[in-house]
Amino acid sequence: MSEIEELTQAIREFANKRDWGVFHTPKNLAMAITGEAGELAAEFQWLTPEEANTVSGAKLEEIKLEIADVAIYLLRICDILEIDMSAAIKAKLQINEKRFPAIK
């Protein structure tokens, strides 16, 4: 079992133990992803480019938590819709290779 599959299973079990299935519809999960992505963006909102490139300490820990929130909801929506995230990413990278040719 891949690490993504293990994480997906752990997230599924966490949600099931709390009876959250009724709330975890694709629409609600997509909205949750948007909210959490906004919280991630807020961590960088007033930083200069230099500050954003060198975050550390408590600020970095907050950023990690927001990234985790986004990832959890992404894995959950993939689980609900039976999407293989790894396969989806690989397919998108192939599309992007054609859309955005390498310059080097």
Q: Look at residue 12 in the predicted model and tell me its pLDDT.
A: 98
- pLDDT 10s digits, 22-67: 999 999 999 999 999 999 999 999 999 999 999 999 999 999 999 9
Judged against a pLDDT cut of 90, whether residue 104 lies above it is answered with: no
Distance CA 89, CA 36 (A): 20
Mean of the per-residue pLDDT values of the chain: 97
Collapsing DSSP states into helix, strand and coil, what is residue 87?
helix
Distance CA 79, CA 86 (A): 12
pLDDT above 70 covers a percentage of the chain that reads 100
Structural Rg of the chain based on CA atoms: 17
The mean pLDDT value for 64-74 works out to 98
